[in-house]
Amino acid sequence: MNLKFCILFSFFVRNVIARGGYRSTSLSSAAGFENESYAGSGRHLIEENQSHHPRTDIARGYMTNSELERAVKEFGRRCSHISRIYSIGESVRGFPLWVIEISDKPGQEEPEPAFKFIGNVHGDEPVGRELLLLLANWICDNYKRDPLVDLIVDKVHLHILPSMNPDGFSFRRRGNANKVDLNRDFPDQFFPWNNNEDARQPETKAIMSWLREMRFTASASLHGGALVANYPWDASLDKRKNYYACPDDGTFRFLASIYSKSHYNMSLSKEFEGGITNGAAWYPVYGGMQDWNYIYGGCFELTLEISDNKWPNAKELPTIWEYNKMSMLNLVASLVKTGVHGRVFSSDSGRPLPGLITIKGINYTVKTSGTLADYHRLLVPGERYEVMATVPGYKSKATHIWLEKEEATNVDFILDPEVSSDGTLLRSIYDCGRKSRLLSIGYFWGTHFEVYLVLIVVLAFLCFLLTRRIKSNLLKQRSPPKRSVLTV
């Protein structure tokens, strides 16, 4: 009897801490969120006696940080025709946070969706960093050979951050060099934890700056300790362990199911129906990266638990890679295989208009890009939607679409400028900022044009007379000896 109890207890604890859900309290206190539970604080230090101290050989077969850096740079040299390497910042100890971008036009802005993979959020969950390098190399090796790879490279900008927490990996522990759980370090929608930007960790700041500079349509972070695809919301205001749906709950379930059903056995889970779970229903997480991406970054992010063992023997990595390969590829490809995509233009000038895209019945807004005004709105296929484009100073337009399964829909919006009661065209702030000089000149010339024309003619004539008089005075003052003076 005692043996059965121990087995059940250890199984429960393993699943409780899997999704980056490190528990600093006893099971009894965690159940009530009373005092010192994981919900009591967003950012928290991980006590030394709570961190795992694996065997010294547990990392054998895994890339060290130096080896990871060399592998990233070598990939950049080998696959330079479809990639670029860049860094989004540094860890506490100064290790660069290297990113691989894969695209047929890396580094260029295109009207295409962007996807990002982030691995090794927790230092003691290193499987993701290994799989992401395998993914990058597999794409490079199979470009122009595999139609799915061609679709990803030609139609998506894929960004891969193999390790968000290289310092934690070096220490073989969950938190970073400051012992902070990075998946509790982001601003939270329910509580004011982590609102002090100066107190955030450099790795967290790097991710936040990354999303301010680059617009991602979707994302996934790779974790270990369970086998499930987790989606928002990750928590609720009442701190209870209940299903709490976000506005795009259906879309997130669809995306999570793509990963789970493409996986070797994730969808067969007896613990999670279909191999997917709502984060708050599993257990609440506050200050997490997933919800922050959706709320503040406009990015649909999943948290993917890709191995039951946080740190499996390196000999198992090829098998884990094969189990997850199609899931990773199909998730990225879903950005262009479904959803509604397009651009927004002005009817009078034909130029792109940065604006907002909304779906009737879904309380969530997607922004277009600033330069090309392209948008990429992920939705559940097989349903009818009303899509609306809105730009300040222009008349909004809406259209109804039927989103086919396994087929994206393209809708470009051409908006007409709004006209005031006196016939003046109303413009958006974007118009004012970009063409303020031209508008000022147009206003100057458009009002009483004849008066301005007469004034210009008079001024020109006066200038002509003044020039003639000056030349005449100069000739009188000169007395050139026995040679003529030529005026040109």
Active-site residue list: 305
Our measurement of the distance from residue 141's CA atom to the centroid of its chain's CA atoms, rounded to an integer in Å, reads 26
436: left (phi over 0), alpha (psi -120 to 50) or beta: alpha
- Phi, psi angle pair for 359, to nearest 5°: -120, 125
Instruction: Determine contact, residues 130/318, Cβ cutoff 8 Å.
Output: no
Q: Who contacts 387 (Cβ-Cβ below 8 Å, separation ≥6)?
A: 340, 357, 358, 359, 377, 398, 399, 400, 401, 411
Count Cβ atoms within 10 A of the Cβ of residue 232 and give its class: 0-12 exposed, 13-18 middle, 19 or more buried.
Answer: buried
What sign does the CA torsion over 86, 89, 92, 94 have?
A: positive
Assess contact for 443 and 437: CB atoms under 8 A: no
Phi-psi region of 309 (alpha: psi -120 to 50; beta: other; left: phi over 0): beta
Structure tokens at 330: 């199909």
Unique residue bearing structure tokens 């002005």: 346
Single-letter code of the amino acid located at 328: M
Q: Give the span between the Cα atoms of 5 and 453, in whole angstroms.
A: 96
Do β-strands 413-415 and 276-278 pair in parallel, antiparallel, or remain unpaired?
unpaired
